Chains A and B, each alone.
Chain A
Amino acid sequence: MLPGQAKMGRRTPLYEQHCAAGGRMVEFGGWDLPVGYGSQIEEHHAVRRDAGVFDVSHMCVVDLRGPATQALLARLLANDVGRLTAPGKALYSCMLREDGGVLDDLIAFRLDPDWFRLVVNAATAEKDLEWIGSHAALAGVTVTARRELALLAVQGPKARAKTLPLLPTDCMAAAAELRPFFGQPGGDWFVSRTGYTGEDGFEVALPAAEAPAFWTALVAAGVRPCGLGARDTLRLEAGMNLYGQDMDESVTPLESGLAWTVVLDDARDFIGKAALIEQRHVGPRRRLAGLVLQERGVLRSHQRVVAADGGEGAVTSGTFAPTLERSIGLARFPVATDGMVQVEIRGRLLPARVVKPPFVRNGRILVEF
């Protein structure tokens, strides 16, 4: 009945710190990472109410440099990097196949006109690098995977205040001034006001050798170490998709609650655009939306969703939401499905309410249940 023993994966620069802190290590996207250090629910609340730190060094920082970088990303990304007119500004985007299927979702920062920085998912990093590289070569853009960098996410209402004094002096002042969804390099470090929890905070990329001391200083400053378990409940409450679970190459952004990240009405010719225009024209058959379970139980991925009109779909992500103290999920079903649906859990149909994510932002519950 227990989860399988961890396979040996790659280790981040903080592996020793995780083990010393009692982290329960599991394999995730080819890496050994802590699922939690004790109570995942307490870790979740620490981020909603105070501050927590996640080791996300498995994610891959990719630098693209050269005069044609912006033109390359205008072709590779469904969101428009032309909107990044201010230095350091970031956007969230999908990278698509020709048929509109989602290759990955990522954050792109414009650091200067010839230098963009991407942060991509761990499990898709090799595929992404191959895809980006094949297009970059023609454009004369250099692509560098910054594997030597560790990446920490410090999240929560008190995360910035607790992190700022611990940053190197050459990035402290700029970090203090960062607006949401901006990032700024300082020496070998890079600080951005981004995250995957629905709370304020920083993500800090830094040389691997400096990561253990920074981690230890954060913990000493009262920032709670948090694992993958809390990361999943926090992102799901925040209504954020997980690649490989809520979307993949078999679905488009329009079927994944990500129409807001796609710019179709401009002259840009990005890969997948024609397929999305066609899909928008005929109307997507399916959509991704939130569910709040009305009874005791827990929504899990792959559970069957049945609408009142007989339409069917499936839960893509589900969990117990500590802030709402009930189960929530994301599910894909016919576009007409709304209101109350039923979810099949171990042979029984339980009612769930369809809602528009996010469920929680900045500590506040935003959905009716």
Chain B
Amino acid sequence: MEEFLIRLQESDFGVWVSSAPTLLAYPTILMLHTVGLAMVVGPAWVLDMRLLGFGARMPIEALRGAFRIMWIGFAINAATGIALFISEADEKGLKWIFWVKMASIAVALIVTSRLRRVVFGGGKVTEMVPPQAKMLAVASLALWFVAITSGRLMAYIK
């Protein structure tokens, strides 16, 4: 495993990301990862808050577009995340906190797709929020917070 991680990190691409003398490598990729974070977590939390009863005059149907923004943000973060991982594969891949981040994102994605099916799946959206959707909204709020926290802590936990 570690040998593979080292090979990744020392690949031409990995070395370019981590040490090319240009702001377009590591710094810009990291910055785009933060833009993607805002595009995924921002709309997710807005939808979660609405499902939990906040801003009740907002028709839930109007928030259907949130999934498109989240999807674009997720694509950005999958791409930039893979690049960042390759560049530091040996440091990040062996950290438990990195796997907490991966696990929280995986579960958050499952929760989000469930939520989409429960709330928007049946063609016409009922404005009555089913209890199951509220539970999924709470899970989504918490899981994205865990993903942000564990992502940030990757810089600190050895």
A binds B: no
